[in-house]
């Protein structure tokens, strides 16, 4: 659930993890916004990076730990593009199958009791994204981009209980003017990042990549809104007073990046107003089994190499 960015725009917009934020910002917004730019001939490009943590849409995908990320992009002169991107993750199995006062990691949820299956476990450590679309330029510095992305989390899902398989498909459309872009993504899969009764969840993204004179520095300013439908999802929320709208949140990011000898260095701050728990104070939302809210304020650094 927590989330990626693949290739969504023609520019290099930093996404959410510092490296992943740069990676999410640089690489990940290779996930979210970086699709190879079409030239007079078809082009195949790649990227590889490391980050102090992988942040996607304001949420840490690695519980504050480092990430290795990379991808390949193909761009055709017509504006068609396709690509793939990967990163290590831990957010899914880090989730709390128990409650705040008695946390149980979804990796081994049996001790949480029903509906979890005794002796069964869950395991996924990789996010693998596949995406494709069409982008182009309009008159007077306007650009457009639309396509689809599949967030795939290969692994073992033998006892997910109130959760669901996290594989997610989104379609998106973006409109940009010079260094500002607005993008809207809509989930079309049955589940959105493992949340039951979440089809139709959406993410609105307004991002500006502002060049700082001739310094070679780029400042990124971002605001986004992740929205889940207000579904009862009683298997998860029970009598806690919560519903899937408690998974909705707003995130912000400020990042600075600079390319030096073919490497992109990025430092980013992100903030997401994610809730710890439902109204009962015990059923967790974005607080994982380690007692950490995967949103809130975060700072990350990343290093990205394009080739």
CA of residue 294 relative to chain centroid, distance: 12
Q: Which SS3 state, helix, strand or coil, does residue 147 take?
A: strand
- For residue 2, is pLDDT > 70? no
The residue-averaged pLDDT of 273-279 equals 97
List the one residue out of 217, 193, 275 whose CA is nearest residue 5.
Answer: 193
Reading the block at residue 266, the tokens are 């990025």
pLDDT tens, 196-215? 999 999 999 999 999 999 89
Q: What is the pLDDT of residue 25?
A: 41
pLDDT tops 90 at residue 182: yes
Q: What confidence tens digit (pLDDT) does each residue in 293-302 have?
A: 999 999 999 9
pLDDT band at 9 (very low <50, low <70, confident <90, very high): very low
Does residue 26 register a pLDDT over 70?
no
Query: Can you tell me the mean pLDDT for 257-268?
Result: 96
- Model confidence pLDDT, tens digit, residues 84-134: 999 999 999 999 999 999 999 999 999 999 999 999 999 999 999 999 999
The SS3 call for residue 130 is strand
7 or 154: which leads in pLDDT = 154
Determine the pLDDT at residue 17: 33
The strand pair at 59-60 and 296-306 is best described as unpaired
Instruction: Report which of residues 27 and 185 the model is more confident about.
Output: 185
Q: Is pLDDT of 74 > 60? A: yes
Q: Closest by alpha carbon to 16, among 7, 130, 27?
A: 27
Return the pLDDT at 10: 32
Compute the mean pLDDT over every residue in the chain, rounded to the nearest whole number.
90
Token output for 79: 């504006």
Structural domains of the chain, ranges and CATH numbers in brackets: 28-306 (2.40.160.40)
Render pLDDT for 29-54 as a digit per residue (tens, 0 to 9). Answer: 556 554 444 446 779 999 999 999 99
């Amino acid at each position: 659930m927590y989330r990626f960015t693949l290739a969504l725009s023609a520019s290099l917009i930093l996404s959410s993890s510092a490296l992943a934020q740069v990676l999410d910002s640089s690489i990940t917004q290779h996930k979210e916004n970086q699709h190879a730019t079409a030239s007079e001939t078809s082009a195949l490009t790649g990227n590889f990076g490391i980050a102090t943590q992988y942040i996607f849409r304001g949420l840490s995908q690695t519980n504050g730990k480092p990430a290795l990320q990379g991808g390949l992009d193909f761009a055709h002169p017509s504006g068609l593009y396709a690509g793939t991107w990967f990163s290590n993750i831990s957010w899914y199995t880090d989730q709390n199958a128990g409650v705040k006062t008695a946390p149980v990691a979804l990796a081994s949820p049996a001790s949480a009791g029903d509906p979890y299956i005794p002796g069964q476990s869950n395991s996924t450590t990789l996010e693998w994204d596949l995406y494709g679309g069409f982008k182009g330029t309009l008159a007077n510095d306007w650009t457009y981009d639309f396509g689809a992305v599949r967030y795939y989390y290969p692994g073992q899902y033998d006892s997910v209980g109130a959760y669901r398989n996290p594989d997610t498909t989104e379609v998106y459309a973006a409109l940009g003017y010079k260094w500002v872009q607005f993008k809207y993504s809509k989930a079309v899969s049955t589940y959105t990042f493992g949340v039951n009764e979440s089809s139709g969840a959406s993410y609105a993204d307004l991002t500006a990549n502002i060049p700082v004179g001739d310094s070679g520095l780029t400042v990124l300013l971002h605001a986004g809104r992740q929205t889940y439908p207000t579904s009862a999802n009683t298997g998860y929320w029970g009598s806690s007073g919560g519903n899937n709208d408690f998974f909705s949140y707003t995130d912000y990011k400020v990042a600075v990046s600079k390319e030096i000898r073919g490497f992109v260095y990025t430092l980013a701050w992100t903030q997401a107003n994610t809730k710890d728990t439902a109204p009962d104070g015990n059923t967790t939302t974005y607080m994982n089994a380690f007692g950490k809210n995967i949103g809130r304020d975060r700072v990350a650094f990343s290093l990205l190499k394009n080739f």
